[in-house]
Amino acid sequence: MEQFDTVVIGAGIAGLTAARILAGAGQRVVVIEARDRIGGRVVSERGDGVVTDRGASWIHGITDSAVHEIATAFGMPMREFTVGSFQAGGRPIAYYGPDGARLSDAEAESFIADVAACDQALPAAIEAVGPVASYADAVARALADLGWEAERAERVREYMQHRSEEQYGAWIGDLDSHGLDDDAVDGDEVVFPEGYDALASGLAAGLDVRLGREARTVRWAEDGVHVETVTAEGGRGRHREPKGAETLAAERVVVTVPIGVLRAGGIRFEPELPDEVSHAIAGLQMNAFEKVFLRFPERFWDAGVYAIRRQGAAGDWWHSWYDLTPLHDQPTLLTFAAGPAARETRDWSDERIIDSVMAGLRALYGAEIPDPIGHTITRWQDDAYSHGSYAYMTVGSRTEDHDLIATPIGGGRVHIAGEATWTEDPATVTAAVESGRRAAGRILGREVPVAEIIRAEETPPNPR
């Protein structure tokens, strides 16, 4: 049986960050990854002169961002694109009203000011609705406090509903009132025209990563851990006799699989996880959030805007389109199926989804606009190794539940890390990096500066 200092489960950004730090500190580290690639929910597709980030696209605020620091050190080209956090304003956005007519600048500004006023009223409203309340309850309370006439309040309520869907892939009534507490963005946002996946390959350089291996059981005791793995079959082999079983022994394990995998029992822990950790995991849920990229022969939408937004019932599902044209100089719009729209369209064909999105665009730009000449539609809800895009707080969960999941178990034999375990900025690449850095720091018994992740041009090979 192979023996390691640390086994890391998952070659996403959290796992690779932890492994890179530990290997750099001289540990014998192995990373076990079920997929046939690294990166997890950071995955870039290349073709026809464009790079499509099917998972994460944005750094949501580059000020004091470890991800920005690492991406800069890795030489990853970036482009400013500051509407990735569903901002109402701040950058040019074309707003269309419920009647399909474009809002004047004055009308748009007044709407943006209303959203800001509601945002200001929200903290007190969240406090007032108590600990077991949804974001819908908090928004309703804030709007009641503002005392606006019905139509004005409805435009902002609708915007908040779309924010819950686009930021967390959850319907506003399913998201906890605190579910968007982390929403502040520090500084500009950026995207990666040549692909976010360079972050994963940069972190993985020199590491011992075993692809196509699925961890099934983590067994820990006072004297160490055993991680049982099998040949991965895309989740399909779960009820069959496992193939290629192999057990790895280590001093400890860092588990970075998504909450969806933990909730589905994808990894058995022996002994079971402590109650407070299981309880915290149960409060989070994987969302429904899919990207729809449409590439066109020509641009027919408003020039000089970052995004187009549609208000009213006609924009219930397809309300926001982001103009990605400047990234690769090819006319491209990105929209999202998020929350109820993603659940409803989960079994739809690509063609049916495209028709539905195009109906929304034709309502604004006319029947004669061209059909797309290319598209990419993600299917994260059907992904056996994530079960959705990222985790959201269900009603009644607490923000600190994120950090609680990462409580070291068995005197530090088992560490859980990953996007959902970072209270300050969950559901992001930042959370993945920071949670991996925290797990490695706890193992090494010291703070780990970002420079230590960037450091080595080459991570030393494992001393095996």
Ligand X SMILES: Cc1cc2nc3c(=O)[nH]c(=O)nc-3n(C[C@H](O)[C@H](O)[C@H](O)COP(=O)(O)OP(=O)(O)OC[C@H]3O[C@@H](n4cnc5c(N)ncnc54)[C@H](O)[C@@H]3O)c2cc1C
Which residues sit at the interface with ligand X, rule CB under 6 A? Answer: 9-15, 32-35, 40-42, 55-58, 60, 84, 214-215, 256-258, 261, 266-267, 289, 291, 378, 380, 385-386, 389-390, 418-419, 427-432
Give residue 224's region: left, alpha or beta (phi > 0; psi -120 to 50).
left
Work out how close the CB of 2 gets to ligand X at its nearest, in angstroms, rounded to a whole number.
Answer: 16
Nearest to ligand X of 11, 454 (CB atom): 11
Nearest to ligand X of 253, 431 (CB atom): 431
Work out how close the CB of 103 gets to ligand X at its nearest, in angstroms, rounded to a whole number.
Answer: 27
Nearest to ligand X of 172, 199 (CB atom): 199
Quick one: tokens of 64?
């004091």
Is residue 176 exposed (0-12), middle (13-18) or buried (19+ Cβ within 10 Å)? Answer: buried
Distance CA 11, CA 281 (A): 21
Work out how close the CB of 190 gets to ligand X at its nearest, in angstroms, rounded to a whole number.
Answer: 10
Has 189 been labeled as part of a binding site? Answer: no
Nearest to ligand X of 57, 459 (CB atom): 57
Query: What are the phi and psi torsion angles at 190 (to 5°)?
Result: -135, 160
Nearest to ligand X of 198, 267 (CB atom): 267
Nearest to ligand X of 161, 389 (CB atom): 389
As a residue count, the chain comes to 464
Distance CA 311, CA 313 (A): 7
Alpha helices in 225-300 (DSSP H): 259-263, 275-282
Distance CA 272, CA 12 (A): 24
Work out how close the CB of 436 gets to ligand X at its nearest, in angstroms, rounded to a whole number.
Answer: 7
Q: Which amino acid is at 357?
A: V
Has 34 been labeled as part of a binding site? Answer: yes
Nearest to ligand X of 105, 382 (CB atom): 382
Quick one: tokens of 313?
């019932």
Work out how close the CB of 100 gets to ligand X at its nearest, in angstroms, rounded to a whole number.
Answer: 29
Distance CA 277, CA 408 (A): 10
Work out how close the CB of 374 gets to ligand X at its nearest, in angstroms, rounded to a whole number.
Answer: 18
3-state class (DSSP) for residue 107: helix
Work out how close the CB of 107 gets to ligand X at its nearest, in angstroms, rounded to a whole number.
Answer: 29
For residue 435, the surrounding DSSP H or E stretch is: helix 429-444
Q: Which residues contact 270 (CB under 8 A, 6 or more apart)?
A: 217, 218, 219, 220
Are 78 and 71 contacting, i.e. CB atoms less than 8 angstroms apart? yes
Distance CA 415, CA 157 (A): 40
Give residue 351's region: left, alpha or beta (phi > 0; psi -120 to 50).
alpha
Annotated binding-site positions:
33-34, 336
Annotated binding-site positions for substrate:
336
Annotated binding-site positions for FAD:
33-34
